[in-house]
Amino acid sequence: MRILPFLIFLSSFSFAQTYFQQEVNYKIDVSLDDKTHTLSAFETFEYINNSPDELNFIYIHLWPNAYKDNTSAMSLQQYRNGNKVMENNSEVDKGFIDSLDFKVEGQQATFLYNLTHKDIGKLVLNEPLKPGGKITVSTPFRVKLPNGNISRLGHVGESYQITQWYPKPAVYDKEGWHQMPYLTQGEFYSEYGSFDVSITLPSNYVVGATGDLQTESEIQFLDNKAQHTESKLDSILILSAKGNNFPKSSSQVKTIRYTQSKVHDFAWFADKRYHVLKGEVELPISKRKVTTWAMFTNSQANLWKNSIEYLNDGIYWYSKWNGDYPYNQVTAVDGTISAGGGMEYPNVTVIGGASSATQLELVIVHEVGHNWFYGILGSNERVHPWMDEGINTANEIRYFKTKYPENNEFSNNFGGVADKIHLGGISHHCGNHLTYGFSANNGKDQPIELHSNDYTSLNYGAIVYAKTGLVFTYLRDYLGENVYDKAMKAYFDQWKFKHPQPKDLQKVMESQTGKDLNWFFDDVINTTGKIDFKLRRVRKRNEGGYSAEILNAGDIRSPVRVDAYFEGKLVETVWTESTEDFGVLDAEFNSTQIDKVVIDGEENMPDVNRMNNSWEKTRTLNKVEPIHFEFLAGDNESDKNTIWWTPIVGANAYDKLMVGALFHNITAPKNKLEFSVAPLFSFGNSTLAGIGDVHLNFTPARLIKKMEVGVKGQTFGEEILISDKSPYSFDLEGRSSLDKMLYWVVKPYLFMELGNNRERRRFSHNIELQYIWARSVSELQTAETETKGGFVQYNFNYKKRKYSLESNLRVDLLGDDVLSNYSNSFVYLDIKQAWTYRIKSEKKIELRMFAGKSLYTRSLLGVENDFRFGFALGGQNGTQDYFYEQFMFGRNESNGLWAQQRIENQGGFKTVSDFGFSTNFMASANLYAELPWGPIGVFGDYGVFDNGNKLITAANAGLGIRLLQGNLAAYVPLISTSNIQNSLTQKEFIQTIRITLNISALTYRNLLGGVN
Ligand SMILES: [Zn+2]
Expressed in angstroms and rounded, the spacing between residue 57 Cα and the centre of ligand 1 is 32
Expressed in angstroms and rounded, the spacing between residue 377 Cα and the centre of ligand 1 is 14
**pLDDT score of 8:** 40
Q: 840 pLDDT band (50/70/90 cuts)?
A: low
**pLDDT score of 422:** 52
The arithmetic mean of pLDDT across residues 727-746, rounded, is 63
Instruction: Examine the pLDDT at 967 and tell me if it is beyond 50.
Output: yes
Expressed in angstroms and rounded, the spacing between residue 423 Cα and the centre of ligand 1 is 23
Q: At what angle do helices 307-322 and 357-369 cross, to 10 degrees?
A: 40
Q: Is 297 exposed, middle or buried (0-12, 13-18, 19+ CB in 10 A)?
A: buried
Expressed in angstroms and rounded, the spacing between residue 207 Cα and the centre of ligand 1 is 22
The arithmetic mean of pLDDT across residues 479-484, rounded, is 97
Instruction: Examine the pLDDT at 819 and tell me if it is beyond 50.
Output: no
Expressed in angstroms and rounded, the spacing between residue 142 Cα and the centre of ligand 1 is 29
Expressed in angstroms and rounded, the spacing between residue 344 Cα and the centre of ligand 1 is 7
Tens-place pLDDT, residues 911-958: 998 899 888 899 999 999 999 888 999 999 999 999 888 999 999 999
The arithmetic mean of pLDDT across residues 157-167, rounded, is 96
Expressed in angstroms and rounded, the spacing between residue 88 Cα and the centre of ligand 1 is 28
Instruction: Examine the pLDDT at 340 and tell me if it is beyond 70.
Output: no
44 and 19 in contact (C-beta within 8 Å)? no
Instruction: Examine the pLDDT at 411 and tell me if it is beyond 90.
Output: no
**pLDDT score of 726:** 46
Expressed in angstroms and rounded, the spacing between residue 357 Cα and the centre of ligand 1 is 19
Written as one string, the DSSP assignment of 128-173 is EE-TT-EEEEEEEEEEE--BTTSSSSEEETTEEEE-S-S-EEPEEE
Q: 734 pLDDT band (50/70/90 cuts)?
A: very low
Least confident of 642-656, 687-701, 807-821, 880-894: 807-821
Expressed in angstroms and rounded, the spacing between residue 801 Cα and the centre of ligand 1 is 28
Expressed in angstroms and rounded, the spacing between residue 100 Cα and the centre of ligand 1 is 32
Expressed in angstroms and rounded, the spacing between residue 370 Cα and the centre of ligand 1 is 6
Expressed in angstroms and rounded, the spacing between residue 389 Cα and the centre of ligand 1 is 5
Expressed in angstroms and rounded, the spacing between residue 372 Cα and the centre of ligand 1 is 11
Q: At what angle do helices 481-495 and 307-322 cross, to 10 degrees?
A: 90
**pLDDT score of 777:** 85
Expressed in angstroms and rounded, the spacing between residue 363 Cα and the centre of ligand 1 is 9
Ion ligand 1 neighbours (CB, 5 A) are: 389
180 and 170 in contact (C-beta within 8 Å)? yes
Expressed in angstroms and rounded, the spacing between residue 381 Cα and the centre of ligand 1 is 10
Expressed in angstroms and rounded, the spacing between residue 75 Cα and the centre of ligand 1 is 21
Expressed in angstroms and rounded, the spacing between residue 523 Cα and the centre of ligand 1 is 24
Expressed in angstroms and rounded, the spacing between residue 653 Cα and the centre of ligand 1 is 55
643 and 633 in contact (C-beta within 8 Å)? no
Higher pLDDT, 407 or 288: 288
Mapped onto helix, strand or coil, the DSSP state of residue 875 is coil
Among 371, 368, 359, residue whose Cα is nearest residue 326: 371
Ramachandran angles phi, psi of 18, nearest 5°: -75, 150
pLDDT, averaged across the chain? 88
Ramachandran angles phi, psi of 370, nearest 5°: -65, -20
Expressed in angstroms and rounded, the spacing between residue 317 Cα and the centre of ligand 1 is 17
Expressed in angstroms and rounded, the spacing between residue 462 Cα and the centre of ligand 1 is 13
Expressed in angstroms and rounded, the spacing between residue 455 Cα and the centre of ligand 1 is 15
Expressed in angstroms and rounded, the spacing between residue 367 Cα and the centre of ligand 1 is 6
Expressed in angstroms and rounded, the spacing between residue 467 Cα and the centre of ligand 1 is 14
Expressed in angstroms and rounded, the spacing between residue 283 Cα and the centre of ligand 1 is 22
Expressed in angstroms and rounded, the spacing between residue 324 Cα and the centre of ligand 1 is 20
Written as one string, the DSSP assignment of 181-212 is ---SSS------EEEEEEEEEETT-EEEESSE
Expressed in angstroms and rounded, the spacing between residue 465 Cα and the centre of ligand 1 is 8
Instruction: Examine the pLDDT at 429 and tell me if it is beyond 90.
Output: no
Expressed in angstroms and rounded, the spacing between residue 415 Cα and the centre of ligand 1 is 25
Expressed in angstroms and rounded, the spacing between residue 386 Cα and the centre of ligand 1 is 10
Q: Is 542 exposed, middle or buried (0-12, 13-18, 19+ CB in 10 A)?
A: exposed
Among 582, 613, 612, residue whose Cα is nearest residue 597: 613
Instruction: Examine the pLDDT at 611 and tell me if it is beyond 80.
Output: yes
Expressed in angstroms and rounded, the spacing between residue 167 Cα and the centre of ligand 1 is 24
**pLDDT score of 492:** 98
The arithmetic mean of pLDDT across residues 833-860, rounded, is 82
Expressed in angstroms and rounded, the spacing between residue 763 Cα and the centre of ligand 1 is 29
Higher pLDDT, 433 or 138: 138
Sign (positive/negative) of CA torsion 185, 191, 194, 198?
negative
Sorted by sequence, the CB contacts under 8 Å of residue 359 that are 6+ apart come out as 341, 413
Is the bond leading into 626 cis (omega within 30 degrees of zero)? no
Higher pLDDT, 264 or 703: 264
Expressed in angstroms and rounded, the spacing between residue 224 Cα and the centre of ligand 1 is 32
835 and 844 in contact (C-beta within 8 Å)? yes
Among 367, 343, 17, residue whose Cα is nearest residue 176: 17
Expressed in angstroms and rounded, the spacing between residue 89 Cα and the centre of ligand 1 is 28
Expressed in angstroms and rounded, the spacing between residue 350 Cα and the centre of ligand 1 is 11
Higher pLDDT, 404 or 820: 404
Biggest CA-to-CA distance, the chain: 107
Higher pLDDT, 963 or 326: 326
Expressed in angstroms and rounded, the spacing between residue 549 Cα and the centre of ligand 1 is 40
Q: What whole-number distance in Å separates Cα of residue 802 and Cα of residue 844?
A: 9
Tens-place pLDDT, residues 356-389: 888 899 999 999 999 999 999 999 999 999 999 9
Number of other CB atoms surrounding residue 977 within 10 Å: 15
Expressed in angstroms and rounded, the spacing between residue 7 Cα and the centre of ligand 1 is 31
Instruction: Examine the pLDDT at 861 and tell me if it is beyond 50.
Output: no
Among 787, 789, 867, 859, residue whose Cα is nearest residue 821: 859
Q: 719 pLDDT band (50/70/90 cuts)?
A: confident
Expressed in angstroms and rounded, the spacing between residue 368 Cα and the centre of ligand 1 is 9
Expressed in angstroms and rounded, the spacing between residue 636 Cα and the centre of ligand 1 is 27
Expressed in angstroms and rounded, the spacing between residue 479 Cα and the centre of ligand 1 is 25
Mapped onto helix, strand or coil, the DSSP state of residue 476 is helix
**pLDDT score of 720:** 67
Q: What whole-number distance in Å separates Cα of residue 688 and Cα of residue 658?
A: 9
**pLDDT score of 632:** 81
Expressed in angstroms and rounded, the spacing between residue 427 Cα and the centre of ligand 1 is 19
Expressed in angstroms and rounded, the spacing between residue 178 Cα and the centre of ligand 1 is 21
Expressed in angstroms and rounded, the spacing between residue 614 Cα and the centre of ligand 1 is 35
% of the chain at pLDDT higher than 90:
64
Instruction: Examine the pLDDT at 233 and tell me if it is beyond 80.
Output: yes
Q: What whole-number distance in Å separates Cα of residue 163 and Cα of residue 157?
A: 16
Q: 3 pLDDT band (50/70/90 cuts)?
A: very low
Instruction: Examine the pLDDT at 1010 and tell me if it is beyond 50.
Output: no
**pLDDT score of 722:** 54
Expressed in angstroms and rounded, the spacing between residue 343 Cα and the centre of ligand 1 is 7
Expressed in angstroms and rounded, the spacing between residue 339 Cα and the centre of ligand 1 is 10
Expressed in angstroms and rounded, the spacing between residue 961 Cα and the centre of ligand 1 is 44
Expressed in angstroms and rounded, the spacing between residue 277 Cα and the centre of ligand 1 is 24
Expressed in angstroms and rounded, the spacing between residue 395 Cα and the centre of ligand 1 is 11
- Single pTM value for the model: 0.87
Expressed in angstroms and rounded, the spacing between residue 447 Cα and the centre of ligand 1 is 18
Expressed in angstroms and rounded, the spacing between residue 464 Cα and the centre of ligand 1 is 10
Instruction: Examine the pLDDT at 729 and tell me if it is beyond 70.
Output: no
Tens-place pLDDT, residues 31-54: 999 999 999 999 999 999 999 999
Among 805, 962, 955, 810, residue whose Cα is nearest residue 871: 810
The arithmetic mean of pLDDT across residues 888-907, rounded, is 84
**pLDDT score of 1:** 28
Instruction: Examine the pLDDT at 198 and tell me if it is beyond 70.
Output: yes
Residue 498 CB-half CA count within 13 A: 14
Instruction: Examine the pLDDT at 295 and tell me if it is beyond 80.
Output: yes
Expressed in angstroms and rounded, the spacing between residue 498 Cα and the centre of ligand 1 is 19
Instruction: Examine the pLDDT at 582 and tell me if it is beyond 80.
Output: no
**pLDDT score of 11:** 44
Segments of 757-816 assigned E as strands? 763-778, 784-799, 803-815
Expressed in angstroms and rounded, the spacing between residue 366 Cα and the centre of ligand 1 is 6
Instruction: Examine the pLDDT at 890 and tell me if it is beyond 60.
Output: yes
Expressed in angstroms and rounded, the spacing between residue 270 Cα and the centre of ligand 1 is 22
Expressed in angstroms and rounded, the spacing between residue 441 Cα and the centre of ligand 1 is 25
Least confident of 215-229, 475-489, 944-958: 944-958
Least confident of 17-31, 769-783, 902-916, 978-992: 769-783
Segments of 491-532 assigned E as strands? none
